[in-house]
Chain A
Amino acid sequence: MANYDFPPGSRYHAVPVAMRVGEDGTVVPYLLRRFLPPLDGFVTLHEHTVVEGERPDLVAARELGDSEAFWRLCDANGAMHPDELTDTIGERVRITLPDGVPPPARE
């Protein structure tokens, strides 16, 4: 179920909201935990090699054209924390199509 508190480009857009009722009857809404999608749903287009001074948002801006889409790179590389993506120089970052989008045909 889409969550309209977050824009469509946000990673929380598809995360459902749950309610917790406290002992005194107060209702606290909260976002359910978001799990990383399985890696086999992503199709690699090419790889990006991390150089010195790079951050996830810089890679996203250069490769995807949108710095706020850095979380898509984390999803595609199985990185729980964004800094894991670029903490080693020379590391290869998979640049992929969005989750569930089929690859271009080879023949």
Chain B
Amino acid sequence: MVQGIHLTLMIGPAVPVPAPRMVVDALQSVEVTSGKDKSGFQLSFGVSKDSPLLTTLLPAGYFDPIATRVVVMVTLGGFPHVLMDGLVTRQELAPSSDPGQSVLTITGDDLSTAMDLIELALPYPNMSSTVQAYQILARYAGLGIVPIVIPPFIPEQPIMTKKIEAQNGTDLEHLKKIADDSGFVFYVEPGPLPGQSIAYLGPNIRIPVPQPALSINMDAHTNVESMSFQLDGLAKETLLVNVHDPITGRLPLVIPIPSVNIFQPPLGARPTPPLKTVMSHDTGGDSTEFTLKKMLGRMLKGAANAITVSGSLDVLRYGHVLRSKLMVGVRGAGLAYDGLYYVDSVTHKIKRGEFKQSFELSRDGLISLTPRVPT
């Protein structure tokens, strides 16, 4: 009931509708993983030999791959959270000789799967990457996907007589390539209401409003079951790029590119130094704009974060649903590891009377930059 958590499961071909009672009754567990650029879900149903799921729904194509869309939504404190809007990709049936142990598992991915189905070879004459992205995403408006595309910082306008940009692969591959060229990210995020999604292509911005703090080892304020911190000293690297001097074109100039991101301000007061130095193996020949865009893209992407945290929490204890791609505060881990972190991925695990999450956080250095984290 509403006191606590209310799960809404919607399944259907093309348009998802609330799942029938027999499907919800058979549902044993829901697992939704939302990561940096890809999300997935898994529904487990307990089935008997004459369960209507096996006798009617499955043969009739109720869980058919790609044709079936699944929306998983949780209402917590009167506030709707759409955890997943995706398409079925797999079915697994594990019949058991023991009564009540047969399990039907439905697995799927988010709506970007629909963009990864058909390989195309299409020219995009006179179109900048932003126009290309909008044109591709317009094909998926029927799925309720609203595009948000941020133009690259160094715009490049291809002219037909010089070169024609072309897509050679699936729509998703081309969108990822556009994002990669300017150091951007591309993902499809469900919400805010069922049936709606946002396709975002732009810089990986950290929204400065953090989520309520994760507290450990703080007696009554503890809201996390477990947390562990790792620091990898070899995660960061400095990239060296060779540029020939413009006058003679012979003398190589070495330019080091640090692993910093202007959209991801440092979260630690003592950043881990990059211990590794790597050379760029890209050969030249690109236009100046393209080379600049690539170097800026490298700076936008930053490098792998040195500190990673993994842990798990109970949503009823925490009182909120922890979301990925946002920031969160951490308390109770000591001077070095307290402070704000970026949430890389979250796995929601819902069973009857239980809603748990496991999470992965990351940060670039030790010691908090903020004197206190919002609770």
Residues of A within 8 A of B (CB): 4, 7-9, 45-46, 60, 62-66, 69, 72-73, 95, 97-98, 100-107
Which of A4, A62, A69, A102 has a CB less than 8 Å from the CB of B79? A69
Q: A7-B209, A45-B2, A102-B194 are contacts. A65–B77 as well, Cβ < 8 Å?
A: yes
- Whether B240 sits at the interface, judged by CB under 8 Å, is no
Q: Is A95 within 8 A of B2, CB to CB?
A: yes
Q: Is B6 within 8 A of A97, CB to CB?
A: yes
- Give the distance in Å from the alpha carbon of A98 to the alpha carbon of B8 in the complex: 11
Q: Which residues of B contact A64 (CB under 8 A)?
A: 2-3, 77-78
Q: Is B2 within 8 A of A107, CB to CB?
A: no
Q: Is B17 within 8 A of A100, CB to CB?
A: no
- Give the distance in Å from the alpha carbon of A60 to the alpha carbon of B65 in the complex: 41
Q: Is A60 within 8 A of B78, CB to CB?
A: yes
Q: Select the residue from A4, A45, A97, A101 with max chain B CB neighbours within 10 A.
A: A101
Classify the secondary structure of A's interface with B: loop
Given A100-B193, A105-B17, 8 additional A-B pairs, CB 8 A: A45-B2, A64-B2, A65-B3, A65-B77, A69-B78, A97-B75, A98-B78, A102-B194
Q: A7-B209, A9-B79, A64-B78 are contacts. A101–B1 as well, Cβ < 8 Å?
A: no
Q: Is A104 within 8 A of B193, CB to CB?
A: no
Q: Which residues of B contact A97 (CB under 8 A)?
A: 2, 6, 8, 75, 80
Q: Is B2 within 8 A of A103, CB to CB?
A: no
Report the nearest B residue to A60, measured CB to CB.
B78
Q: Which residues of B contact A4 (CB under 8 A)?
A: 209
- Give the distance in Å from the alpha carbon of A7 to the alpha carbon of B6 in the complex: 22
Report the nearest A residue to B323, measured CB to CB.
A8
Which of B21, B78, B193 has a CB less than 8 Å from the CB of A107? B21
Q: Which residues of B contact A107 (CB under 8 A)?
A: 20-22
Interface string of B70-85 (1 = CB under 8 A from A): 0001011111100000
A-B contact count (CB 8 A): 72
Q: Is A101 within 8 A of B79, CB to CB?
A: no
Q: Which residues of B contact A60 (CB under 8 A)?
A: 78
Q: Which residues of A contact B80 (CB under 8 A)?
A: 97-98, 100-101
Instruction: List 10 interface pairs A-B (beta carbons < 8 Å), by A numbering.
Output: A45-B1, A46-B1, A62-B3, A65-B76, A66-B79, A72-B79, A73-B78, A101-B8, A104-B18, A106-B21
Residues of B within 8 A of A (CB): 1-4, 6, 8, 10, 17-22, 24, 73, 75-80, 193-194, 209, 319
Q: In the complex, how many angstroms separate the beta carbon of A21 from the nearest chain B beta carbon? A: 30
Q: Select the residue from A60, A69, A98 with max chain B CB neighbours within 10 A.
A: A98
Q: Which residues of A contact B3 (CB under 8 A)?
A: 62-65
Report the nearest B residue to A14, measured CB to CB.
B192
Q: Is B194 within 8 A of A98, CB to CB?
A: no
Q: Which residues of A contact B319 (CB under 8 A)?
A: 65-66
Which of A62, A69, A73, A105 has a CB less than 8 Å from the CB of B18? A105
Q: Is A105 within 8 A of B77, CB to CB?
A: no
Q: Is B2 within 8 A of A102, CB to CB?
A: no
Q: Is B77 within 8 A of A101, CB to CB?
A: no
